[in-house]
């Protein structure tokens, strides 16, 4: 079933349990699929973890188990971060090659990036059997607990409080990043925007026509901020590479590519602020209030 709350969910608590179970089952299916590509399994499983954390943040004000379960899911994702980060590094390099005049010139640099990123990783698989077993065991335990998750308070009050917390943080993140567009500030802003995107997906049915534009805008902004962060990580790796690779191998390549990456990062930053200004210009309390009203009318209908 799609990542959304439906009319068939008798309550917010029912939806919480159902959607959590679906995401956990989907993650388990990725990890246990025979002959699956480990890199694909890692990527898809981490996406399910993010959806789970987005779901928990929506009901956080009424869920006493939030801190524990959020930490469990976060720690599981961290265990899978190494292989995924390697893939993102190479994907970022390849994206940067799209608009350079001679991408083949940077092929030696790509090879060294890949070799460095793979250091210390399992030679046979990015998802070792023991790690996979640990993840599955933890997910099974999480699934069992999710059947007993309870919410405290009225659905509408929980929703409004959860939406307000995330939306206010997204707006605060925007202002902080405008004031100081550091890598950390931009990344924090991105995380808050992405949680709001997840919430707009979960609540898409409460007013499908009017939710669609916001959902699209949040997805676009989160994507731009994600690309911005990927380039920031890539630039950091280039600095490490410059100290590790013999100059004769990549003479001039690192400086040229670093300049190109910095320019691209600046373009993404400008675009993100333009999108953020459009999306986050409203007072923080307006969106949660409006969505909660739509929820009330939808549940009555």
25-29, 111-115, 232-236, 265-269: range with lowest mean pLDDT: 111-115
Residue closest to 14 by CA, chosen among 212, 169, 148, 203: 148
Given a contact cutoff of 8 angstroms between Cβ atoms, the answer to whether 186 and 229 are in contact is yes
Contact predicate 298/206, CB 8 Å: yes
- Give me the pLDDT at residue 122, please: 47
Residue 249 confidence (pLDDT): 61
CB 105 within 8 A of CB 253: yes
Q: Which fold is adopted by the domain 1-80+127-153?
A: 1.20.120
Average of pLDDT values for 269-280? 95
Could you tell me the pLDDT band of residue 294, with boundaries at 50, 70 and 90?
very high
| 33-65 burial: b if 16+ Cβ within 10 Å, else e | eeeeebeebbbbbbebbbbbbbbbbbbbbbbee
Per-residue model confidence (pLDDT) at position 278: 92
Element (DSSP H or E) covering residue 148: none
Q: Is the pLDDT of residue 123 over 60?
A: no
Q: Report pLDDT digits (tens) over 217-261.
A: 999 999 999 999 999 999 998 887 777 666 666 667 888 899 999
- Asked whether the beta carbons of 258 and 137 are under 8 A apart, the reply is no
Check the CA dihedral 285-161-10-145 and report its sign: positive
Q: Does residue 49 have a pLDDT over 70? A: yes
* 169-196 pLDDT tens trace: 999 999 999 999 999 999 999 999 999 9
Which of 127, 101, 110, 88 shows the shortest CA–CA distance to 231? 88
134-176 pLDDT per residue, tens: 999 999 999 999 999 999 999 999 999 999 999 999 999 999 9
Domain boundaries, the chain: 1-80+127-153, 86-121+154-301
Inter-helix orientation angle 253-279/107-118, to 10°: 80
- Determine if residue 37 is left, alpha or beta; phi over 0 gives left, psi from -120 to 50 gives alpha, anything else beta: beta
Q: Over the stretch 3-18, which tens digit does the pLDDT of each residue have?
A: 999 999 999 999 999 9
HEC assignment per residue over 75-116: HHHHHCHHHHHHHHHHHHHHHHHHHCCCHHHHHHHHHHHHHH
């Amino acid at each position: 079933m799609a990542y959304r709350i439906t009319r068939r969910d008798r309550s917010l608590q029912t939806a919480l349990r159902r959607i959590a179970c679906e995401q956990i089952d989907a993650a388990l299916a990725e990890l246990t699929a025979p002959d699956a590509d480990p890199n694909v399994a890692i990527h898809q499983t981490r996406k399910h973890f993010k959806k789970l954390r987005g779901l928990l943040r929506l009901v956080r004000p009424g869920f006493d188990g939030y801190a524990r379960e959020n930490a469990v899911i976060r720690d599981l994702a961290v265990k899978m971060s190494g292989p995924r980060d390697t893939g993102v590094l190479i994907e970022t390099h390849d994206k940067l090659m799209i608009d350079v005049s001679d991408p083949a010139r940077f092929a030696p640099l790509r090879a060294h990036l890949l070799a460095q990123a793979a250091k210390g990783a399992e030679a046979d698989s990015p998802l070792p059997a023991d790690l996979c077993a640990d993840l599955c065991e933890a997910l099974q335990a999480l699934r069992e607990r999710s059947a007993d998750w309870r919410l405290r308070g009225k659905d509408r009050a929980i929703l409004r409080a959860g939406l307000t917390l995330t939306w206010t943080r997204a707006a605060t993140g925007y202002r902080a990043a405008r004031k100081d567009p550091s890598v950390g500030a931009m990344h924090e802003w991105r995380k808050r925007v992405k949680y709001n995107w997840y919430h707009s997906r979960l609540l898409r049915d409460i007013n499908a026509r009017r939710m669609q534009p916001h959902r699209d805008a949040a997805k676009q902004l989160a994507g731009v901020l994600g690309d911005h962060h990927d380039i920031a990580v890539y630039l950091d790796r280039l600095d490490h590479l410059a100290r590790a690779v013999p100059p004769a191998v990549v003479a001039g390549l690192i400086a040229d590519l670093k300049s190109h990456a910095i320019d691209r990062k600046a373009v993404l930053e400008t675009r993100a602020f333009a999108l953020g200004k459009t999306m986050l210009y409203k007072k923080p309390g307006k969106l949660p209030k409006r969505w909660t009203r739509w929820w009330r009318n939808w549940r009555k209908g």
